[in-house]
Amino acid sequence: MAIRLANNCTNCVNFKDDNMCAQHHIPVSARHTCDSFTMRADIKNIMQCSTCSRYGKSDCTHPKQASPEMLCSDWAPEAVA
């Protein structure tokens, strides 16, 4: 099972520091999302094999193709303590 980053408001370019949506002008949280969701570039950029919890492990789905700057749909975030 692939575990991925959530497409929720806190990962969206329109989420502002005061927990407001810059597009809809309403308070939002990690519990919300909408059809205008756009992943923040800084989060997009961390999604590559070198930051995948499967990299170099038996559960990598493309072990022959995996390389630090590659990405596949089975990317999984590393555990954060």
Stated as kind and residue range, the H or E segment containing 44 is helix 41-44
Q: How far is CA 21 from CA 31, 69, 73, 76, in A?
A: 13, 31, 28, 27
DSSP 8-state symbol, 79: P
Give the x-and-dash track for 12-51 against ligand SF4 (CB under 6 A): x-xx-----x-xx---x---xxx-xx-----------x--
- Please report whether residue 74 would count as binding ligand SF4 according to CB under 6 A: yes
| Binding stretches for ligand SF4 (CB under 6 A) | 9, 12, 14-15, 21, 23-24, 28, 32-34, 36-37, 49, 52, 54-55, 60-62, 66, 70-72, 74-75
